[in-house]
Amino acid sequence: MLFLMDNAVYQVVSESGDVIQPERDERGVYHVTEYLDLIPIEKLKELLSLVKEILKVCTPFRVIFLGPLPRYLVIPCCTRVLHLRNQSHPNFADILTDELSLIEDEIQKYFADSSVQFVRARDIFGTQNLFLKSSWKDGVHLRKEMYGNMAVFLRRMIWDF
């Protein structure tokens, strides 16, 4: 089971267009200090080519590749005004959700001719549950119960194989 793209598909972009790393505060909380964006498809393809090397080691095994979670779309990193600047855009969640769907489509296409089974987060949790504030501990982490639901879903998936 591989859960590799969850952080990798997101990037923080500065006002000048530079890609920067999220900042981690003294409590270990990551902050999107500028604009949240998803990586371009070409960058995703580069990352997937690196994953291909990992998959070579997994060849004799069944591989389940989990898609990224919609981080920061439901709950921001914090309430600081200059953080997650594009969240105030009226279509913020819709735009990023559409971009995340394109990323998921690309991952699925990439694995279409392989034995890798790609699973989208919304297939595990259901779209409605995934976008409820009550499902999230913070902007990055789901509540413990949601991870439990993921485990049950994946266990059934493995047993039904």
- The domains of the chain are located at 10-159
In the chain, DSSP finds a helix count (H) and a strand count (E) of: 5, 7
Q: Return the sign of the alpha-carbon dihedral for residues 106, 146, 83, 81.
A: positive
Most confident of the ranges 19-23, 69-73, 79-83, 142-146: 142-146
CATH of region 10-159: 3.40.50
pTM equals: 0.87
Using the predicted structure, report yes or no on whether residue 92 has a pLDDT greater than 80: yes
Average pLDDT over residues 1-21: 88
